[in-house]
Amino acid sequence: MEILPLIAGICCVLGGIGVIVHTNPINKIIMFALLEIGMIGLIISSYYLDIAIISSLCEPICTIILLLGYLKYITTVKKKKRYGRNLPVLSK
Amino acid sequence: MEFVEYILYIGYALLIIGTIGAVIGPRVDNPLIRMLNVEVPTVGVSLIFLAYDEALALMTFIAVNAVLSLILIRAVILDVEYKENE
């Protein structure tokens, strides 16, 4: 067997186990990027280069969306004010 | 082992690992962590599409998956905001 599918398969399995085992969402997002890299490697090693273009464009966008969403989530959880954003008149 | 069987077995392994992790994984009472665990069987399904030579289905599934993660994480954030306002 060639060397690229072997390394991509190891990346896929280690990334999948790492996403499940870690509990901090930043570490989970990093392990998810490793999993996606393994999937792109397996797609390339079976010569679907057009699908490799699409997946290489879409998956960093997915990672950025997850990071921004996690930052918004942690800001919403840590926020201490009780009145909320929808009624700005009551806060004055 | 053939190359197609290799991809197929990795896809099956990711499906099993991801499904068990999304149901009884560590700290899945947090909805964000459960949503991140669900991303693992998605990659498993993509690898099974790749093993069966379904190129168009694979391309569509990858492209829709980015939009799906946007909608899911927006729903999680809105859920937390509504729980705080109550």
* DSSP-derived 3-state class of residue B9: helix
Which residues in B lie closer than 8 A to residue A21 (C-beta atoms)? 26
Alpha carbon distance A44, B19 (integer Å): 26
Packing angle between helix B31-51 and helix A25-45, nearest 10 degrees? 10
Distance between A89 CA and the closest CA of chain B, angstroms: 16
Alpha carbon distance B35, B74 (integer Å): 11
For residue A92, the model assigns a pLDDT of 47
Model pTM? Answer: 0.88
The answer on pLDDT for A26 being more than 80 is: yes
Tokens 């991509």 map to which residue?
Answer: A8
ipTM, interface predicted TM-score of the complex: 0.90
Neighbours of A13 (CB within 10 A): 16
Name the residue among B10, B63, B77 with its Cβ closest to that of A13. Answer: B10
- The angle formed by the CA atoms of residues B82, B85 and B86, to the nearest 5 degrees, is 90
